[in-house]
Amino acid sequence: MSSTPDVMEKLVSLCKRRGFIFQSSEIYGGAGSVWDYGPLGVELKKNIKDRWWHSMVRSRDDIEGLDAAILMHPRTWEASGHVAGFVDPLVDCRTCKGRFRADKLEDARCPQKPSKQPGQTEQCQLTDARNFNLMFKTHMGALEESASVVYLRPETAQGIFVNFLNVQQSMRQKVPFGIAQIGKAFRNEITPGNFIFRTREFEQMEMQFFVEPGTDMSWFDQWKQLRMEWHLALGLSPERLKFHQHTAGELAHYARAAFDVTFDFGGTLGFQEIEGVHNRGDFDLSQHQQFSGKKLEYYDQPNNKRYLPYVIETSVGADRVTLAALVNAYREEAVAGEDEGRVVLGLHHSIAPIKAAIFPLTKKDGQPDLAKAIVQDLRAAYAVDYDETGSIGKRYRRQDEVGTPFCITIDGQSVSDQTVTVRDRDTLMQERIAADQLKQYLATRLVG
């Protein structure tokens, strides 16, 4: 249990009301733990992915981008260990027919007595745990026979490993270097839930950094630090972030070291993993080398030696970070001089779906025309929104709720002297500035 309040229910409702996130196939009663991103949600998640792509790929010489396919040769998943080992322990309850993860019972609720966890009431009859493979299986081609079984990838990483030499040779990279990609992954989670925290279809942002054996732990420490800095730069509060080191018992059999970046989601969820930083040794490349029969060694020309690089992996969920950003940003506060308080999403400016909203105070006297001209002018550089309906107070509240950093109001004076009022989401301070200075103003005020 976290000491920070649980805002999840309020967020789910805000996200639906304001067009961030809808339940998938809602008119049919919803698809289990699958969510659709609405107009503002897609902007928010895209901004987060763009920040990651920029910090990983665009701003560095030593990392290349990739977009590998979701469907891969089925042998990939034998080599990676997923066919045999990507399992969670599953228990059934004979009474309520519920299915739960045996290792996460404390996170689950008894469907018949939600105040208890499964197994805690007299009626519960849990079976012994058995292994359940989380990969979605489907068939490629017209024949539903075993030879054509393929899997929806449960992680993006394997697309990177199998392309290691393609990228290295085509881009003339030298170890140490990395490959980064963003893409969908699918896991048939036994107990998904907590909104977009654990879903069956999600997006990962993964980077595999290939290093010479022996240098791996120093790269591991660097990446661990860099990734924490990235989350802090996204505006996540320092007190809500901490590392969790995998103990010997938690470490995957191939991992030499692993840390999770965890975020405090508040309430009963508390601190949970949002990213994993792993030292995977040469497990993946050597498995693929063995299963494919193709040499995946790197040739270090200056030193005339060949070796399989070790891999430092950073693996973060785009949806989980989106949720962390929303939880972190949500606040309710009183407004001086007003009876009604306000709900604000104090999102970092760089990820706010709308950067500025433009309002004519009234629908007459040429105000909408001036407002629309300003919208046109700003649109080239920023995501902006035009709104002329409802009282100005309501329009401010609406933008506060979706995290818009600045509201620009056009009034009677604006039409005569071409000045406008800019209101700051967080301080509520209002400034009057010349309309032709707006672009410059936003460029200096918006935090990148």
Query: Minimum CB separation from ligand ATP for residue 120, in Å?
Result: 23
Q: How far apart are CA 327 and CA 9, in angstroms?
A: 11
Nearer to ligand ATP, 155 or 411 (CB): 155
Query: Minimum CB separation from ligand ATP for residue 50, in Å?
Result: 18
Name the site residues for ligand ATP (rule: CB under 6 A).
Answer: 155, 187, 189, 198-199, 202, 204, 273-276, 315-317, 319-320
Nearer to ligand ATP, 168 or 199 (CB): 199
Nearer to ligand ATP, 317 or 405 (CB): 317
Nearer to ligand ATP, 191 or 409 (CB): 191
Query: Minimum CB separation from ligand ATP for residue 274, in Å?
Result: 5
Nearer to ligand ATP, 231 or 425 (CB): 231
Q: How far apart are CA 406 and CA 14, in angstroms?
A: 20
Cα 372 from chain centroid (whole Å) = 34
Nearer to ligand ATP, 263 or 330 (CB): 263
Q: Is 46 exposed, middle or buried (0-12, 13-18, 19+ CB in 10 A)?
A: middle
Q: Which residue, judged by CB position, is nearest to ligand ATP in the bound state?
A: 317
Give the H/E segment covering residue 406.
strand 406-410
CB 284 within 8 A of CB 157: yes
**Residue located via tokens 């990228």:** 167
Q: What DSSP string runs through 305-333? A: EEEPPEEEEEEEEHHHHHHHHHHHHEEEE
Query: Minimum CB separation from ligand ATP for residue 229, in Å?
Result: 17
Q: How far apart are CA 241 and CA 232, in angstroms?
A: 8
> Looking at beta carbons, which pairs linking 26-30 to residues 24 or more positions away fall under 8 Å?
none
Closest CA to 359 of 376, 378, 374: 374
Q: How far apart are CA 161 and CA 68, in angstroms?
A: 10
Query: Minimum CB separation from ligand ATP for residue 204, in Å?
Result: 5
Query: Minimum CB separation from ligand ATP for residue 149, in Å?
Result: 22
Q: How far apart are CA 415 and CA 368, in angstroms?
A: 10
Instruction: State how beta strands 63-65 and 177-186 pair.
Output: parallel
CB 100 within 8 A of CB 108: yes
Nearer to ligand ATP, 129 or 375 (CB): 129
Query: Minimum CB separation from ligand ATP for residue 380, in Å?
Result: 34
Q: Is 402 exposed, middle or buried (0-12, 13-18, 19+ CB in 10 A)?
A: buried
Nearer to ligand ATP, 257 or 442 (CB): 257
Closest CA to 113 of 140, 136, 93: 93
Nearer to ligand ATP, 6 or 107 (CB): 107
SS3 259: strand
Rg (alpha carbons) of the chain, rounded to whole number: 25
Q: Partners of 419 in the beta sheet?
A: 434
Q: Is 328 exposed, middle or buried (0-12, 13-18, 19+ CB in 10 A)?
A: buried
Query: Minimum CB separation from ligand ATP for residue 199, in Å?
Result: 4
CB 307 within 8 A of CB 211: no
Q: Which two tokens stand for residue 311?
A: 């891999």
Query: Minimum CB separation from ligand ATP for residue 205, in Å?
Result: 9
Phi, psi dihedrals of residue 432, rounded to the nearest 5°: -100, 125
Query: Minimum CB separation from ligand ATP for residue 187, in Å?
Result: 5
Query: Minimum CB separation from ligand ATP for residue 139, in Å?
Result: 23
Nearer to ligand ATP, 187 or 395 (CB): 187
Nearer to ligand ATP, 49 or 439 (CB): 49
Query: Minimum CB separation from ligand ATP for residue 420, in Å?
Result: 41
Helix 438-445 to helix 367-379 angle (10° resolution) is 50
Nearer to ligand ATP, 214 or 249 (CB): 249
